[in-house]
């Protein structure tokens, strides 16, 4: 069944902007400018702005004008200064090296007039799309109003491609000329590498807090992978399902059956599953807690596993180093606390080493991507995906509405 879903997925062909002729056009680009802001509204991490520069420069260099639209945060009650995209203009102008005009409302007279007056090479940024509840509802009337602001549609926001919002999918139907920006194309291309043309041996490293978030992706990957490494908080539900005792470690009671099913399925498909044999355990969920090492299947009452242990680190490292394709999603422990970051760091080192030896490595999902970037390894792996939920859904074999909408 997995195969037929993927066949469908791959039949969607997405045009890249490099195939469009853009001179004299007005290009509406959905970007992901959902960046973190400091208390005084400075952009504290401009990764997402920088990521869109190739798309922006390509459009401007082609002699087109550019209308940028994005969401920022999760505003609940309409326009709120805290979530205004106005705050990002200084950072954006500095990166692009050109002035950026601003429309205080993403639709309406001001946006229409400013968009209409744009000359080629000029840039207009629209106010936060999520100031309208119609955006997330995928309202067609709202999508049509947005579509009037340009004559070419480009989607470069992979991070929201799994949502059928007005700007991410619905508005595409109003354009004959539409394409994926460079971020979107690169994300899909790299995701495809681990789905369709993975070299073997292939390992998927799953971590993070919840089994429930990763069930579908694990099931889908079992047809492709040779090794499944399970670390992080989710490993304890697996140990419990296998009859272990896990103290106060994270547990999803209602997923015990699921864990057994995944283990059975893996066996059936000849996938070797690697659980952490030992753990770093703590007597409290705190960086300052007392900590020690013990077998993961025998954690004493009052203690919890917050990182994989030394033996697990060695085991996992060995598996990673013998693989040619590596997909990593989710940290091995509570890496935000230095006391429990060693497992995640060790795996990151192993992935970097394997990559240097010729393996292809894709790091996906917000937390593992953050961990790899924090460690300064971002450029030593093959690709770090920017799209958490979108990448997971793609890996689960789902058709992403934002990608489907760009199909011909």
* H runs (alpha helix) in 81-196: 89-96, 109-117, 133-137, 140-147, 182-195
Please tell me whether residue 331 binds ligand AMP under the rule CB under 6 A.
yes
Contact call for residues 385 and 369 (beta carbons, < 8 A): yes
- Picking from 136, 124, 120, the residue whose alpha carbon sits closest to that of residue 73 is 136
- Annotation marks residue 366 as catalytic: yes
Q: Quick one: which of 93, 213, 223, 272 contacts ligand AMP (CB under 6 A)?
A: 213
- Classify residue 281 by its DSSP letter: E
How far is residue 138's CA from residue 167's CA, in Å, rounded to a whole number?
8
- Position of tokens 């030992």? 278
Whether 229 contacts 204, CB under 8 Å? yes
Which residues does residue 180 pair with via DSSP β-bridges, in sequence order? 16, 155
Under the binding rule (CB under 6 A), the answer on residue 333 touching ligand AMP is yes
E strand map for 357-401: 360-364, 383-384
232: contact with ligand AMP by CB under 6 A: yes
Q: Tell me the residue number closest to ligand AMP, measured at CB.
A: 208
The answer to whether residue 242 is catalytic is: no
Is residue 306 involved in binding ligand AMP (CB under 6 A)? Answer: yes
Q: Is 283 in the site for ligand AMP (CB under 6 A)?
A: no
Which of 148, 324, 389, 398 is an active site residue? 389
- Closer residue to ligand AMP (CB): 136 or 252: 252
Q: Which of 146, 157, 334, 347 binds ligand AMP (CB under 6 A)?
A: 334
Q: Which stretch binds ligand AMP (CB under 6 A): 150-158, 204-212, 310-318, 346-354?
A: 204-212
Query: 162 near 187, Cβ under 8 Å?
Result: no
Select 208 or 247, whichever has its Cβ closest to ligand AMP. Answer: 208
First to last CA, the chain: 25
> Is 364 assigned a catalytic role?
no
> Which residue stretch of 35-43, 95-103, 156-164, 327-335 sits at the interface with ligand AMP (rule: CB under 6 A)?
327-335
The answer to whether the CB of 235 falls within 8 A of the CB of 296 is yes
Number of residues engaging ligand AMP in binding (CB under 6 A): 16
Least distance in angstroms from the C-beta of 93 to ligand AMP: 34
Which listed residue (138, 181, 309, 330) binds ligand AMP by CB under 6 A?
330
Out of 75, 138, 159, 208, which residue is the one contacting ligand AMP (CB under 6 A)? 208
The minimum distance between CB 204 and ligand AMP, in angstroms, equals 14
Catalytic residue among 210, 291, 317, 398: 210
φ/ψ of 139, rounded to 5, equals: -65, 130
345 burial type by CB count under 10 A (0-12 exposed, 13-18 middle, 19+ buried): buried
The tokens describing 36, both together, are 């973190």
Is residue 401 at the binding interface for ligand AMP, with CB under 6 A as the rule?
A: no
The answer to whether 305 contacts ligand AMP (rule: CB under 6 A) is yes
Has 210 been annotated as catalytic?
yes
CB of 231 to ligand AMP, least distance (A): 7
Q: Which has the closest alpha carbon to 67: 12, 21, 36, 113?
A: 113
Select the span of 126-134, 184-192, 266-274, 329-337 touching ligand AMP (CB under 6 A): 329-337
365 makes contact with ligand AMP (CB under 6 A): yes
For residue 54, count CB atoms less than 10 angstroms from its CB and return exposed for 0-12, middle for 13-18, buried for 19 or more: middle
Catalytic residue among 48, 130, 145, 255: 48
Segment (H or E) for 369: helix 366-374
- Look at strands 26-30 and 65-69 and give their pairing: parallel
Given 261, 366, 378, 398, which residue is catalytic? Answer: 366
Q: And the tokens for 402?
A: 């934002």
Among 223, 336, 378, 404, binds ligand AMP (CB under 6 A): 336
| Residues with active-site annotation | 48, 210, 366, 389
Binding-site ranges for ligand AMP (CB under 6 A): 208-210, 213, 232-233, 250, 305-306, 330-331, 333-334, 336, 365, 367
């Amino acid at each position: 069944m997995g195969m037929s879903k993927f066949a469908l997925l791959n039949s969607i062909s997405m045009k890249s902007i490099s195939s469009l002729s853009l001179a004299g056009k007005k290009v509406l680009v959905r970007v992901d400018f959902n960046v973190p802001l400091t208390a005084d509204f400075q952009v504290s991490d401009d990764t997402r702005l920088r990521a869109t520069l190739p798309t922006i420069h390509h459009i401007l260099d082609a002699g087109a004008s550019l209308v940028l639209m994005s969401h920022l945060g999760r505003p609940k009650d309409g326009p709120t200064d805290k979530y205004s995209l106005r705050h990002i203009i200084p950072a954006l102008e500095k990166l692009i090296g050109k002035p950026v005009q601003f429309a205080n409302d993403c639709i309406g007279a001001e946006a229409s007039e400013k968009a209409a007056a744009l000359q080629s090479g000029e840039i207009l940024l629209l106010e936060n799309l999520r100031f309208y509840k119609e955006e997330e509802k995928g309202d067609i009337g709202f999508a049509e109003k947005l579509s009037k602001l340009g004559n070419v549609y480009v989607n470069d926001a992979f991070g929201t491609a799994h949502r059928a919002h007005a700007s991410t999918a619905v508005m595409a139907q109003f354009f004959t000329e539409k394409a994926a920006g460079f971020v979107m194309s690169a994300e899909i291309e790299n995701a495809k590498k681990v789905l369709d043309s993975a070299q073997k041996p292939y390992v998927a490293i799953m971590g993070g807090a919840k089994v429930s978030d990763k069930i579908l992706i694990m099931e889908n990957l079992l047809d492709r992978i040779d090794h499944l490494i399970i670390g992080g908080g989710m490993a304890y539900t697996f140990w419990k399902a296998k009859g272990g005792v896990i103290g106060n470690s994270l547990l999803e009671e209602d997923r015990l059956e699921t864990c057994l099913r995944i283990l059975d399925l893996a066996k059936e498909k000849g996938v070797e599953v690697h659980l952490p044999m030992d753990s770093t355990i703590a007597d409290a969920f705190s960086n300052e807690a007392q900590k020690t090492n013990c077998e993961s299947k025998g954690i004493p009452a009052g203690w919890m596993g917050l990182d994989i242990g030394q033996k697990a680190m060695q085991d996992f490292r060995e598996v990673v180093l013998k693989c040619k394709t590596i997909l990593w999603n989710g940290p091995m422990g509570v890496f935000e606390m230095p006391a429990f970051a060693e497992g995640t760091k060790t795996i990151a080192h192993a992935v970097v080493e394997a990559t240097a030896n010729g393996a292809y490595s894709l790091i996906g999902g917000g937390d593992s991507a953050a961990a790899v970037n924090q460690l300064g390894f971002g450029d030593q792996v093959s690709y770090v995906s920017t799209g958490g939920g979108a990448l997971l859904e793609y890996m689960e074999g789902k058709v992403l509405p934002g990608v489907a909408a760009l199909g011909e």
